[in-house]
Structure 1
Amino acid sequence: MEPVFPLLAALGIGAVLGFFGGLFGIGGGIIAIPVLVLGFGMDQALAQGTALAMMVPNLVMAWWRYWRRGPGGLGRGTLLVALAGTLTTYGAAQAAQGMNPQVLQLVFAGFLALVGIGQWRRAGKGPEGGPEGGPQAGPDRLASRGRLMPLVGVAGGGCMGLLGVGGGLVATPLLTGLFGLGQRAAQGVALAMVSPSSAAALLSYARAQRVDWPMGVALAVGGVLTVSAGVAVAHAVPEHRLKALFGLMLLATAGLLVLEKTGLL
């Protein structure tokens, strides 16, 4: 039987991660995994599987909230992104078995740092102009460039498969920087991609018995309680400020990965 205090702590951690997951359109696993390893003594595989138990309901709840507010609806382009992301996640996960995970995560940290700096610099130019910055721009943009959208799923799904996390961190800046979507629209589409990918990954970890279900459920309950608040804040913050905050989050995540993998954390 699980001790009560760790489960209560997990409930609080899940609540914090759920809020930021709703704010930035991510599952929170990039933070939850090192917390479970360092704070709860789990090995890496068990921590990843347990984090996925939290991420799946958080991602589904966040996507549903984004969809109800407009961007990230189930347009054809969004479905193609989700399908490509799910298939690529599975293939990349198989390929990752023979790779050095520390090298992969350090490379990923460098990528996040570069993207985060780019996000911050673009946000510093001020509010986004034109219709793409508005909340209804996402589905129209996806419809006009639907044939290229699966490439976003390939990139995000590849990251999910290789590292177990980070699909939304990759997809969102690609959708804003290369396809011109507003930040909120991009986060909604990224959530539609990552939700089925994370569910497939959780199924794989569960079959291998690499999920601490009591801990994962406690994290998930805490997260579900606060996801809606994070989504509400995301829709209240101006687009350029949300993009700047997302860039800072990418830089902080990159630093966390480097500290963890170099043994300084």
Structure 2
Amino acid sequence: MHPDIVTTLAALLLGAVLGGVGGLLGIGGGILAIPLLGAAYGLEQSMAQGTALVMMVPNVLLAFWRYRQRSPFPLSLALRIGALSVLATWLAAQLALGLDKALLRQVFAAFLLLLGGYFWREARPRPQRATPHPWPARYLPGVGLIGGACAGFFSVGAGIVAAPILVRGFGKAQTEAQGLALALVLPGALVALASYGRAGAVDWPLGLCLALGGLCTVSPGVALAYRLPQQRLRQLFALLLWLTAGLSCWLG
């Protein structure tokens, strides 16, 4: 088989895997794609990040739409969360410019390890107990500030951090939280893709193959999320947090 065909098929398959995982767990998939693109295709960091964004934008948009179809929430709320996320990302990135990036990633990785442990513990069956009173809905846009700040400081993690806050603080179901968390990822991904594209740090053919593969599996991933028990979904989310923590250390 011609090497170019093999490369294309491999990219489509990788995109399909990342799209399915992204749909299932409500993430953009970039944190998983970036190191894989570096290892499998020899892309340097900025090129890997720009190429991953080509995949993320359409995948996140489709996943957001599918989650909103199944768990309707006001589009205006998603827009407010997304807008505040972009603002917080920019401000935090300015503050983080003079800080040690390796230390920031280590702190972020430690935080995700602890958060993953919490989600794994919450997934275990427990005796019936009183449900804590959820935070007022008027505070929901603040999730965009927190997620955006994490993205600005650590370069990844807006949606990953937002989902646990939505579940624990606001009493959202895991699936609804994942859908709302995608509202944090999409605006930042669009802005970042435009920036990487202008800088020439995007492998467009590879990114489009990843995107095409992902678009084939995002919807089945979202559908599977709604079929799985909440406990199992939380366990998978915990595993994702631990994997992300490991990748964050690797990227550092």
Question: TM-score normalized by structure 2?
Answer: 0.90
Consecutive unaligned residues in structure 1, runs of 5 or more? 133-140
* 1:1-265 paired onto structure 2 within 5 Å: 3-71=4-72, 73-125=73-125, 145-261=136-252
Deviation at 1:39, TM superposition (A): 1.7
Deviation at 1:93, TM superposition (A): 3.1
- Residues 157-166 or 191-200, more deviating: 157-166
Residues 130/25 of structure 1: CA separation in 2 closer, same or farther (3 Å cut): farther
State the distance in 2 between where 1:112 and 1:210 align.
Answer: 29
Judge conservation of contact 1:77–1:146 (CA < 8 Å) in 2. Answer: no
Consecutive unaligned residues in structure 2, runs of 5 or more? none
Judge conservation of contact 2:137–2:170 (CA < 8 Å) in 1. Answer: no
State the distance in 2 between where 1:252 and 1:156 align.
Answer: 19
Q: Which amino acid aligns with 1:149?
A: L
Judge conservation of contact 1:127–1:239 (CA < 8 Å) in 2. Answer: no
State the distance in 2 between where 1:130 and 1:191 align.
Answer: 29
Size of the aligned set, in residue pairs, is: 249
Judge conservation of contact 1:120–1:247 (CA < 8 Å) in 2. Answer: yes
Deviation at 1:12, TM superposition (A): 0.9
State the distance in 2 between where 1:68 and 1:245 align.
Answer: 22
Judge conservation of contact 2:92–2:153 (CA < 8 Å) in 1. Answer: yes
Deviation at 1:82, TM superposition (A): 1.5
- 1:195-248 alpha-carbon deviations (Å, 9 max, x no partner): 112111111211222111111111111111100010000000111221121112
**Aligned-partner SS, 1:98:** coil
Residues 236/92 of structure 1: CA separation in 2 closer, same or farther (3 Å cut): same
Deviation at 1:92, TM superposition (A): 2.7
Deviation at 1:52, TM superposition (A): 1.0
> Structure 1: which 4+ aligned runs deviate by more than 4 Å?
126-132
Judge conservation of contact 1:93–1:162 (CA < 8 Å) in 2. Answer: yes
Deviation at 1:260, TM superposition (A): 4.7
State the distance in 1 between where 2:70 and 2:131 align.
Answer: 17
Residues 128/55 of structure 1: CA separation in 2 closer, same or farther (3 Å cut): farther
**Aligned-partner SS, 2:201:** coil
- Residues 240-249 or 145-154, more deviating: 145-154
State the distance in 1 between where 2:75 and 2:194 align.
Answer: 26
Judge conservation of contact 1:155–1:171 (CA < 8 Å) in 2. Answer: yes
Equivalent residue for 1:138?
none
Equivalent residue for 1:135?
none
Percentage of identical aligned residues: 48
Residues 39/101 of structure 1: CA separation in 2 closer, same or farther (3 Å cut): farther
Q: Which amino acid aligns with 2:119?
A: Q
State the distance in 1 between where 2:235 and 2:249 align.
Answer: 21
